[in-house]
Amino acid sequence: MRPLLLALAVASVAPAKETLVQPKETLADVARRTLGSPEAASELKAINHLETDSVAAGTRLLLPGQERDLALGAIASAKSAVHQATLGAARTEASARLADAERLLSSARYQEAAAQADGAWKLVSQRLEDPSHFAIQVADDGTTRVHVDSGIPVRVEAEGRTRAVSPGETVLVRRGEAPGVPSGPSGPQGQGVLEAPVLLSPSPNLHLALDPKGKGVGPLRLSWRAVAGARGYLVELKGPSPQTLRTTHAEASFPSVLTGSYRWSVRALGIEGALGPSAERSLDVSSGNIKLEVQPPDWK
Amino acid sequence: MALCLTLLAAGDACRKSPPAGPADASPLPLARATLQHLKGTVSVKRAAADDWTAASEGMALLENDTVQTGARASAQVRFPNGSSVVVGEEALIGIAETGGSPGRDRTDLTVRRGTVDATLETPTTQDLSVGTPAATVRAGREIVFQ
């Protein structure tokens, strides 16, 4: 326990890093360069006890430490909670506290800002006692999908940006990118979250020999990796005997197809029939029925 | 106060240590989580080890340990504050990893591959941070200046 408490204590008083003002830089430029926003110039001004916004090149400026991140996190949480709260006295009071927290932040009073934001959060968080359930799925390329089932919103951070993901929402984050817009349970952005299925079998350009079945051959079995958030799949077979089917599983079977060259594609189906991007592959289908011709022997 | 209560609640679990080995002057590492409800092939690689070993029920997980599940396997990782994650099949996770990506805080759990289902029974007193190659996911209470 001691190291954690010590870490928090250090975070609250730790002297910050420093930066050197470059030629022709304004305080807003320094704030943008070091803190990611020109609006944080007021914080630099407060921390460094500057009288004006002008600062000479070569001046060494103190930068805020971890306490700023914690205050920003608390404000982000409170904003999310206030945004989702129903109208009422609690929300009005929380909004006022939140505004106060932002004012304190701008004057670099980080601890007080965090405390005010915390108070705002407590006022409007009505589902605090509900258990929180969420799922995180990481694909082989690192792409991350976060789906919140229930409870309070989950915060997803990437590339300096934070998204609050509420129950019923899903957010997708690709490596090196900021989190996408969360898709709601019935929102129009649902289709943007669906990915193209990864096709598994048959392998690309495979020459498939199937048993004779009716006028054609079969069954032709296709499979792919399940897509998170998909309600089903639309499978299309283009070729001598084109067919389309819908399935809820990550596999499909066509009982009989004519022999020839095909392209097959799969798209994930989202909420309200929204379609995800397509994945497509080629294959050749032939009859696997081998004719055996046995010549009568010459001898008797 | 909430933080202190959380830490106090976590205290007992934090003091748990892995099975005692030979006498050593260095302090025993703290258990960061416990492995439960094992199903199928679940392996653990200790931070200081090169080899994977079979996981066992109730096994203490330490900082920088790695857990891997096989096909149709799963396991539950329970943290001292009561939050937990169910690790799905063919997943690879790290526990409280240090030396992660530059500029990223240490998280309770790193998911490198696969799916985890997380639960916080009382989000007012629990929190959980999960890192992935693309993002950091935080749930529950923010630890601010309490």
Closest CA–CA distance from residue A44 to any residue of chain B (Å): 21
Establish if A293 touches chain B: CB-CB under 8 angstroms.
no
> Taking the domains of chain A in order of start, what are their residue ranges?
17-63, 67-124, 133-182, 199-287
pLDDT at A89: 65
Q: For A216, list phi and psi in degrees, rounded to 5.
A: -125, -145
pLDDT in tens, A198-254: 888 888 878 888 888 888 888 899 998 888 777 778 888 888 988 888 877 888 888
pLDDT at B31: 86
Residue A283 CB neighbours (<10 A): 20
Q: For A82, list phi and psi in degrees, rounded to 5.
A: -65, -40
> Taking the domains of chain B in order of start, what are their residue ranges?
2-12+30-140
- A229 CA to centre of own chain: 12
- Kindly state which CATH superfamily the domain A17-63 is placed in: LysM domain (3.10.350.10)
Separation between Cα atoms, residue A223 and residue B64, nearest integer Å: 37
Top mean pLDDT of A1-10, A63-72, A96-105, A120-129 is at A96-105
- Residue owning tokens 């890192």: B131
Q: Which residues of B touch A144 (CB under 8 A)?
A: 111, 132-135, 137
Residue A143 to residue B134, Cβ atoms within 8 A: yes
Q: Under a CB-based contact definition with an 8 Å cutoff, are residues A95 and A31 in contact? A: no
Q: How confident is the model at residue B52 (pLDDT cuts 50, 70, 90)?
A: very high
Residue among A146, A151, A179 whose CB faces B120 most closely:
A151
ipTM of this predicted structure: 0.79
Q: Which residues of A touch B138 (CB under 8 A)?
A: 73, 154-157
Top mean pLDDT of A186-195, A221-230, B41-50, B103-112 is at B41-50
Residue B118 to residue A136, Cβ atoms within 8 A: yes
58-77 in chain B: CB under 8 A from chain A = none
Closest CA–CA distance from residue B53 to any residue of chain A (Å): 23
Q: Under a CB-based contact definition with an 8 Å cutoff, are residues B94 and B112 in contact? A: yes
Of the two residues A210 and B4, the one the predictor is more confident about is: A210
**Pair of tokens at residue A273:** 């029939």
Q: Under a CB-based contact definition with an 8 Å cutoff, are residues B127 and B83 in contact? A: yes
Strands across the sheet with A220-224, in order?
A199-201, A220-224, A251-254
Residue A70 to residue B145, Cβ atoms within 8 A: yes
Helix (H, G, I), strand (E, B) or coil at A113: helix
Separation between Cα atoms, residue B146 and residue B144, nearest integer Å: 6
pLDDT at A185: 54
Q: Under a CB-based contact definition with an 8 Å cutoff, are residues B87 and B41 in contact? A: no
**Average pLDDT of the residues in A101-106:** 92
| pTM recorded for the entire structure | 0.47
Q: Under a CB-based contact definition with an 8 Å cutoff, are residues A226 and A190 in contact? A: no
Asked if A17-63 and A199-287 have one fold, the answer is no
Q: What CATH fold (topology level) applies to the domain A199-287? A: Immunoglobulin-like (2.60.40)
Give yes or no for residue A5 having a pLDDT over 60: no
> E-strand spans in chain B?
31-39, 42-45, 53-54, 60-62, 66-69, 74-78, 84-87, 92-95, 109-120, 127-131, 136-140
Q: Under a CB-based contact definition with an 8 Å cutoff, are residues A106 and A42 in contact? A: yes
Separation between Cα atoms, residue A114 and residue B139, nearest integer Å: 17
pLDDT in tens, A145-186: 999 888 778 889 888 888 888 878 888 999 999 888 887 654
Closest CA–CA distance from residue A147 to any residue of chain B (Å): 9
Separation between Cα atoms, residue B44 and residue B116, nearest integer Å: 16
pLDDT at B15: 42
pLDDT at B53: 96
Q: Which of B119, B122, B144 to mutate to test the interface with A (most CBs of A within 10 A)?
A: B144
* A56: amino acid identity, one letter: A
Helix ranges (DSSP H) in chain A? 2-13, 27-35, 41-47, 66-84, 89-106, 110-124, 190-193
Give yes or no for residue B20 having a pLDDT over 70: no
